[in-house]
């Protein structure tokens, strides 16, 4: 059995939320609207539903999702955000990509996709240890989950987005990891590494990739890496040493990260339960 416990602290993703609540010195705090006063009366939550696995691989995928912190993310977000409706995370058999359906307010995670992420990581890093694999595997699928929950937030909180929503919710996931999770910068970097490997699987970009609503996987990788670099002095030094980004881009990363972090905190703050108690 693989060692998968490394990501359990991801439940601390709520720390970012606490940070949002306490950083109330700016003008935006004063203008925060109490949008849904009734939200306090009825606590809407993110429910997690795991369909019974039908294969050993699916059972492993379910285990990765559970041990990787899916339930903790759901409960942490439920405790901290005043959702106007219930949301559902539905883990089930199948090989499709994860997606959020605004009609049912449901994020669907397929066990087959979870196992595909493992295969891509193992193919990219053939000598990876079981412990490292477990950590990276869970990190990638948690990043994907928070990305999908980002789509849900955009929907239920009616969050305005400029540019590609896909990039914006990548940014949201990266900010959550780097700002709210112990060792989260490392996990976000794991996600960046995964997208880099994913481009290898997808091959040389063709028209269909350029036409897609997502940025190219390699671009997603570099953008996440830049945000990680920009999130602290320590990660900046680490990323500079890794020479993944050229100095010209690296120099921009702190300002890019600050912009993304500021935007998401401002956009989510009105929807925190702590913003609606007074």
Residues that bind Zn ion (CB under 5 A): 166
Closer of 71 and 166 to Zn ion (Cβ)? 166
Q: Shortest approach of Zn ion to residue 147 CB, angstroms?
A: 5
In whole angstroms, what is the distance from residue 107 CA to residue 88 CA?
6
Look at residues 114, 87, 91, 112 and name the one whose alpha carbon lies nearest to residue 101.
87
With respect to Zn ion, which residue has the nearer C-beta, 43 or 164? Answer: 164
CA distances for 53 relative to 2, 96, 110, 112, 207, angstroms: 18, 16, 11, 11, 36
CB burial of 92-101 (b: ≥16 within 10 Å; e: otherwise) equals bbeeeebebe
- Minimum separation from the CB atom of position 151 to Zn ion (A): 5
H helices, E strands: number in the chain = 13, 4
In the complex with Zn ion, the residue whose CB is nearer, 67 or 142, is 142
Looking at beta carbons only, is 155 or 166 nearer to Zn ion? 166
The pair phi, psi for residue 272, each rounded to 5°, is: -75, 145
Q: How far is the CB of 148 from Zn ion (least distance, A)?
A: 6
> What 8-state DSSP symbol labels residue 32?
-
CA distance 201 to 94: 19
Q: How far is the CB of 161 from Zn ion (least distance, A)?
A: 12
Count CB atoms within 10 A of the CB of residue 107.
27
Determine the 3-state secondary structure of 62 from DSSP: helix
Structure tokens at 232: 């602290």
* Min CB(248)–Zn ion separation in Å: 28
Minimum distance from residue 10 beta carbon to Zn ion (Å): 19
Query: Using alpha carbons only, how large is the chain's radius of gyration in Å?
Result: 18
Quick one: 173 or 272, whose CB is closer to Zn ion?
A: 173
Of 161 and 266, which has the nearer Cβ to Zn ion? Answer: 161
- Residue of this chain nearest to Zn ion (CB atom): 166
């Amino acid at each position: 059995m693989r060692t998968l416990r490394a990501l359990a602290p991801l439940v601390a993703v709520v720390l970012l939320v606490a940070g949002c609540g306490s950083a109330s010195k700016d003008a935006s705090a004063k203008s925060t609207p109490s949008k849904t006063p009734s939200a306090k009366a009825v606590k809407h939550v993110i429910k997690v539903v795991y369909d019974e696995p039908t294969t050993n691989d699916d059972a492993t995928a379910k285990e990765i999702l559970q041990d990787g912190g899916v339930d903790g993310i759901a409960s942490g977000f439920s405790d901290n955000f005043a959702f106007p409706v219930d949301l559902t995370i539905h883990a089930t058999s199948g090989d499709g990509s994860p997606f959020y359906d605004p009609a049912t307010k449901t994020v669907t995670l397929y066990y087959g996709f979870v196992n595909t992420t493992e295969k891509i990581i193992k193919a990219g890093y053939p000598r990876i240890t079981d412990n490292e694999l477990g950590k990276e595997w869970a990190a990638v699928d948690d990043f994907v989950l928070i990305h999908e929950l980002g789509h849900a937030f955009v929907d239920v909180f009616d969050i305005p987005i400029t540019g590609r929503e896909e990039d914006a919710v990548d940014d949201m996931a990266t900010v959550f990891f780097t700002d709210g999770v112990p060792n989260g910068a490392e996990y976000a970097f794991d996600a960046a590494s995964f997208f880099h490997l994913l481009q290898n699987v997808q091959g040389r970009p063709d028209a269909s990739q350029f036409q897609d609503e997502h940025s190219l996987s390699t671009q997603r990788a570099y953008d996440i890496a830049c945000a990680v670099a920009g999130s602290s002095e320590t990660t900046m030094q680490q990323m500079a040493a890794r020479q993944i980004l050229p100095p010209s881009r690296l120099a921009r990363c702190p300002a890019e990260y600050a912009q993304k972090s500021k935007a998401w905190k401002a956009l989510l703050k009105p929807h925190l339960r702590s913003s609606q108690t007074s």
